[in-house]
Structure 1
Amino acid sequence: MSSRARRPGRRLDLDVPSVLVDTAERMFGEGGVDAVSVRAVARDAGVAPAAVFYHFASKEDLVSAVVDRRGRAVSEEMRSNLVALADSREKPTVRAVIDAVLLPLVHVIDDDPVSGLNWMKVVDWLGVTRDAAFYEEQDIEPGITALFATCVRRATGRKSQKIGRRYGIAMFGMLHALARADLYGYGGAVGPSGLDKDWVEQLAVFTAGGLEAP
């Protein structure tokens, strides 16, 4: 018996934008943003391709919606952590600065190991190909990257160009490692209950060590 054909016209039986974002997050995370077409997302979501463009003007807008859904909470948590360190009368440790950025990302995967990891893979793709959009999701100055740099400078007491170059390596290095935490080469560090705590600890130690090195 053949499956019933999809009804023509707008779908009124589901929240189409939410379903599209859910589907895109999963497919982009599993197959890669470049490899997954808008048509494929629409087909898997059970809607016509035109429905995607009704809600999202382009594939780029759909990717942004995927990042934005979790990214706002992540960016708010990062900003709060970094502002507290920047405003503190006491000199922060490098490890505290790393944790301020790393732990909000860890929480995403711990809260939902499957979908959270797929989201992380999309963010990592953006970081490699364009920018880490969620870092500057909120239109507030100074941005998270600037706050991170300020806190690292306070923690290390150094402002050289070489140290400055390490800021991006640190931030994107953490993103890249988290996005690949399910792979054997990265320790297969994610499971049904989230990330392995010792793996997260070693990631933080490694990243902080790179910023502290002479």
Structure 2
Amino acid sequence: MTTKKKRAKARDGEATRQALIDSAAALFAAEGIDAVSVRAINAAAGYGPAATHYHFGSKDAILHAVLLDYGSAVLARIHALASELNDSVEVPSAEEIVRVLAVPYQEFLEEDYVRAEQWLAICGQLSLANDERLFSPMEDDDTAVIIGQLLERAFPDVDKDQRDQNFSLAANTLIAMAATWARAAGGAESASAHRLDSLSIFIAGGLSSLMERRRA
């Protein structure tokens, strides 16, 4: 095979992978991850019954690819904001820590509403089910460690396990509600962004209250 043909084949392969990822994202968001079959993903993308297995190997693998393809920029932004906040000499507030997550979600909604809505819907499903696959794209970075450091600085008198549990509840609520509101907006990007900002304030208050109860 000539170099030119190899390049053309590689481009075709990437196009197929992207089509499968986009089809899977739309189906996972609309019908639910568990309800979607590999056969349905292949059919929606317009490929044969073996396409997903050939390019990804399994349904879990294409789910991981969806989370990474749609959310990589969001995760990078979360890491950057968490690092910036952690570098500050000021003790972080609960609202500032929650906004480390909320601001990238809001920016994604404003930049690409359709992809953001689908990604949030998928993350919301995994979050509500406490499904560890939600965190698979973060396995190779230290974002969770940095957020843990922020929580320790903000709430030093609270036990680490309790801090982590409280923040997990706050983060899961943020993701689930952001997904619900994004879908309900039906394309009203600015409305979703405004609601997400209000939700961040509400969740930060709840997080602070939970932490204060553990101090008492």
Q: Please, what TM-score do these two structures have when normalized by structure 2? A: 0.81
Q: Give the CA deviation at 1:190.
A: 5.5
CA displacement at 1:16 relative to structure 2: 0.7
Find the counterpart in structure 2 of residue 95 from structure 1. Answer: 95
Could you tell me which residue of structure 1 aligns to residue 131 of structure 2?
130
Counterparts in 2 of 1:146 and 1:189: CA distance versus 1, 3 Å: farther
Distance 1:118 1:37, change over 3 A: same
* Aligned counterparts of 1:61 and 1:105: Cα–Cα separation in 2: 23
The alpha-carbon deviation at position 101 of structure 1 amounts to 1.3
Contact 1:71 1:134 in 2 (8 A): no
CA RMSD of aligned residues (A): 2.4
Whole-Å separation in 1 of the counterparts to 2:94 and 2:189:
28
Q: CA deviation at 1:13?
A: 9.9
Give, in whole Å, the separation in 2 of the partners of 1:70 and 1:57: 19
Deviations 1:73-125 (A, max 9, x none): 11111111111111211212221111111111222222222221111111222
8 Å contact kept, 1:113–1:194? no
Measure the CA separation in 2 of the matches of 1:74 and 1:38: 26
Aligned counterpart, 2:206: 210
What are the ranges of 5 or more consecutive residues in structure 1 without an aligned counterpart? 1-11
Partner of 1:153: 152
* CA–CA distance in structure 1, aligned partners of residues 13 and 145 of structure 2: 45
Determine whether 1:68 maps to 2:68.
Answer: yes
Matches of 2:151 and 2:109, distance apart in 1: 25
Instruction: Look up the equivalent residue of 2:61 and give its one-letter code.
Output: D
Distance 2:158 2:14 in 1: 53
Report the 3-state secondary structure (helix = DSSP H, G, I; strand = E; otherwise coil) of the residue aligned with 1:49.
coil
Distance in 2 of aligned mates of 1:192 and 1:172: 23
In structure 2, distance between residues paired with 1:196 and 1:49: 37
Normalising by structure 1, we get a TM-score of 0.82
What is the match of residue 47 of structure 1?
47
Pairing of 1:171-182 with structure 2 (within 5 A) = 171-182=171-182
Indicate the residue corresponding to 1:144 in structure 2. 143
* Residues 203, 132 of structure 1: alpha-carbon distance in 2 compared, 3 angstrom cutoff: farther
Distance 1:67 1:129 in 2: 16
Amino acid paired to 1:121: A
Q: Distance in 1 between matches of 2:25 and 2:86?
A: 34
When residues 134 and 72 of structure 1 are mapped into structure 2, their CA distance, relative to the original with a 3 A threshold, is farther
**1:106-125 equivalent positions in 2, closer than 5 A:** 106-125=106-125
| Counterparts of 1:125 and 1:89, CA distance in 2 | 36
- Sort the Cα spacing of 1:202 and 1:13 in 2 relative to 1 into closer, same or farther, 3 A: closer
CA distance in 1, matches of 2:49, 2:136: 30
Q: Indicate if the aligned counterparts of 1:38 and 1:52 stay in contact, CA closer than 8 A.
A: yes
Q: 1:8 matched to which residue of 2?
A: none
Which residue is equivalent to 1:79? 79
Aligned to 1:198: 194
Query: What are structure 2's unaligned runs of at least 5 residues?
Result: 1-11
Deviation digits for residues 163-189 of structure 1 (CA, Å, limit 9, x no counterpart) = 442111011111111111146xxxx34
